[in-house]
């Protein structure tokens, strides 16, 4: 043993270096438009700029932050695709806002391990209250409130939410038999051709098997066909299989199509099948009364999720998950070794969120959601959603005014799917040149087999001028093809 102090960063050192890091982030946000949206590096280029071996001695001096941030500028920034750039129109938004970052910083500083109520009561109770706030903000059914038979929890992503919903559904439909005796392969799961790939991964992880995943046809609006769902369920029952879960989507990843939730929910209620709603992107639309029609029938769902880190101004990770049947969820996921036993848990008077998802450990993620809601309020959150919807409508009008282009799917939210009329190859080249320019970043999908560009609006700093500049760039490249 040595009596030499360990080289930890002192609170005063943290204060000094922390100020430098906060200043760097603020400067990055202020000057983000000077960067190409899509990273221009080649594979291996970032790694090649890093030392091959770790340092033996640490850089424990006043220049630590200066040196670190210089390397971030030189090594990291060239390899960053700037998701916060106002001309980032790819995938879906991934907002990072000041209030969210500050809430996340508080969480990191507290260093809470919130697996049990007893390990930090505030971690649990703030999260529970935030989930109840979200029920109110989104106009969701009271069966998702914590004072009902259901409740809410923050998952890391909608992919985890789908897996958790599936595990709970299997537990309920089997009476616990899947957990004790296996045999998940005799159950079936249903999704549409437009459902997110996370459902396929969930059935593989849960042991159901991808051969037991039924892909249901969609209608002209790209929503799941209830008649085909009912027929597929009937065929599986006739074959001796047990339907366990249906996944309906509000705002599909490809085109933001909306499944007919009410019709699907009525089938699930009649058949005793767990209905999970994936509203990862479009759930935030329910903040606005004029968009709540997209959530018609949501009260029929056994579980529901939306990502705070897509359209709700909260940085990753923050999936907001609800269930109306917490007993099945907890029974499916609870494992209680002796070292986790405590008086509060034994009293059954508290929530232990470790029983609501796969991992045991959990961060104090509710702090960043609380921070965001406090800063923006309901009206601010609604204004952000409405701005995205309005900008998307404006972009769609621009596309329609150019006969060379066509819009290929409905755009209820803030995504517009469009393409050049004609061959796929021209659209592929259009996208390649646009993204290579560094001026903007789009991604693509296929709609009814046709190669299609996606214009996803929702980055925090995006304004009308950015959308119009993007359209001008699209037209300019189209002129060259």
Per-residue pLDDT of the chain (481 residues; tens, 9 = 90+): 567 778 899 999 999 999 999 999 999 999 999 999 999 999 999 999 999 999 998 888 888 999 999 999 999 999 999 999 999 999 999 999 999 999 999 999 999 999 999 999 999 999 999 999 999 999 999 999 999 999 999 999 999 999 999 999 999 999 887 776 666 669 999 999 999 999 999 999 999 989 999 999 999 999 999 999 999 999 999 999 999 999 999 999 999 999 999 999 999 999 999 999 999 999 999 999 999 999 999 999 999 999 999 999 999 999 999 999 999 999 999 998 899 999 999 999 999 999 999 999 999 999 999 999 999 999 999 999 999 999 999 999 999 999 999 999 999 999 999 999 999 999 999 999 999 999 999 999 999 999 999 999 999 999 999 999 999 999 999 999 8
Burial 365-394 (b: 16+ CB within 10 A, else e): bbbbbbbbbebbeeeebbebbbbbbebbee
User: Domains in the chain, start-ordered, CATH in brackets?
Assistant: 112-363 (3.40.640.10), 372-480 (3.90.1150.10)
Polymer length in residues for the chain: 481
What integer pLDDT is reported at residue 177 of this predicted model? 79
What integer pLDDT is reported at residue 1 of this predicted model? 56
Are 153 and 160 within 8 A, CB to CB?
A: no
CA atoms within 13 A on the CB side of 37: 22
Burial degree of 207 (CB within 10 A; 0-12, 13-18, 19+): middle
What integer pLDDT is reported at residue 181 of this predicted model? 67
For the full predicted model, state whether its pTM sits above 0.85: yes
- Which one, of 479, 291, 249, lies nearest residue 393 by Cα? 291
Residue 11: how many other CB atoms lie within 10 Å: 9
What integer pLDDT is reported at residue 182 of this predicted model? 66
Burial 151-172 (b: 16+ CB within 10 A, else e): bbbbbbbbbbbbbbbbbbbbbb
């Amino acid at each position: 043993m040595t009596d030499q102090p360990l080289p930890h960063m002192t609170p005063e050192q943290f204060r000094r270096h922390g100020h430098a890091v906060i200043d760097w982030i603020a400067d990055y946000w202020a000057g983000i438009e000077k960067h190409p949206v899509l990273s221009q590096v080649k594979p291996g280029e970032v790694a090649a700029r890093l030392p091959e071996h770790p340092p033996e001695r640490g850089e424990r001096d006043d220049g630590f932050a200066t040196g670190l941030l210089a390397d971030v500028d030189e090594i990291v920034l060239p390899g960053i695709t700037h998701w916060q750039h106002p001309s980032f129109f790819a995938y879906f938004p991934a907002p990072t806002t000041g209030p969210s970052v500050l809430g996340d910083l508080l969480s990191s500083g507290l260093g809470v391990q919130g697996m049990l109520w007893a390990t930090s009561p505030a971690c649990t109770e703030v999260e529970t209250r935030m989930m109840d706030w979200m029920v109110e903000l989104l106009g969701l059914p009271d069966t998702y409130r914590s004072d009902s038979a259901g409740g809410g929890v923050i998952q890391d992503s909608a992919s985890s939410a789908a897996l958790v919903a599936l595990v709970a559904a299997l537990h309920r439909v089997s009476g616990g038999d899947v957990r004790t005796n296996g045999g998940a392969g005799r159950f079936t799961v249903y999704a549409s051709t437009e459902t997110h790939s996370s459902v396929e991964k969930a059935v593989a992880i849960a042991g159901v098997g991808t051969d037991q995943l039924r892909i249901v046809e969609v209608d002209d609006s790209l929503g799941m066909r209830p008649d085909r769902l009912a027929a597929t369920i009937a065929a599986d029952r006739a074959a001796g299989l047990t339907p366990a879960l249906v996944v309906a989507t509000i705002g599909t990843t490809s085109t933001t199509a909306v499944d007919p939730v009410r019709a699907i929910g009525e089938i699930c209620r009649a058949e005793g099948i767990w209905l999970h709603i994936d509203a990862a992107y479009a759930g935030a639309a329910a903040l606005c009364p004029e968009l709540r029609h997209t959530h018609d029938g949501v009260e029929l769902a056994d579980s529901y999720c939306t990502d705070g880190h897509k359209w709700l101004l909260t940085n990753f990770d923050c999936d907001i998950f609800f269930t109306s049947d917490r007993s099945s969820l907890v029974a499916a996921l609870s494992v209680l070794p002796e070292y986790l036993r405590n008086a509060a848990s034994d009293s059954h008077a508290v929530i232990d969120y470790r029983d609501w998802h796969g991992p045991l450990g959990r961060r104090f993620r509710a702090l960043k959601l609380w921070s965001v809601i406090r800063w923006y309020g309901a009206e601010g959150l609604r204004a952000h959603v409405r701005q995205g919807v309005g900008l998307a409508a404006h972009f769609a009008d621009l596309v329609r005014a150019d006969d060379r282009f066509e819009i290929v799917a409905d755009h209820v939210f803030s995504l517009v799917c469009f393409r050049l009329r004609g061959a796929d190859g021209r659209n592929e080249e259009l996208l390649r040149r646009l993204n290579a320019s560094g001026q903007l970043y789009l991604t693509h999908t296929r709609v009814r087999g046709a190669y299609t560009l996606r214009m996803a609006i929702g980055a925090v700093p995006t304004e009308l001028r950015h959308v119009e500049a993007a359209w001008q760039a699209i037209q300019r490249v189209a002129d060259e093809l």
